[in-house]
Amino acid sequence: MSIKASLSLPFAKFIVTKNSKWKKNAVKVQQKLMFELIERAKKTKFGREHNFSEIRNYSNFKMQIPIRDYEGLKGYVNLIIDGEKDILWPGKP
């Protein structure tokens, strides 16, 4: 076994183990990530207008944030183009 292979083996085992945990708890992992993203974005213009601070579960999320195309987000995008910050995501892109 080459040095490169022997050095990468522990990392590969770590990734396989982590991946197995993610697969076993996929819904829990996705919910955790969803709430982390909501928490980070709740003080943005979009987050305030869609009551991110009130979202407690996926059903709330679906009700608060309708599916839309570019035209539905164009007003927010224009604000970003104009240089405003904290519109769709914290800070400026």
Q: What pLDDT, in 10s, does the model give residues 68-89?
A: 999 999 999 999 999 999 999 9
pLDDT of 52 strictly over 80: yes
Give the span between the Cα atoms of 44 and 89, in whole angstroms. Answer: 6
Q: State the average pLDDT over residues 46-58.
A: 96
Give the span between the Cα atoms of 29 and 92, in whole angstroms. Answer: 28
- Condensed to tens digits (0 to 9), the pLDDT of residues 15-46 reads 888 888 778 889 998 999 999 999 999 999 99
Structure confidence at residue 31 (pLDDT): 93
Q: How confident is the model at residue 1 (pLDDT cuts 50, 70, 90)?
A: low
* Cβ-based neighbour number of residue 29 at 10 Å: 13
- Across the chain, mean pLDDT equals 92
Structure confidence at residue 18 (pLDDT): 80
Give the span between the Cα atoms of 89 and 49, in whole angstroms. Answer: 13
32-55 in b/e form (b: 16+ CB < 10 A) is eeeeeebeebbebbbbeebebeeb
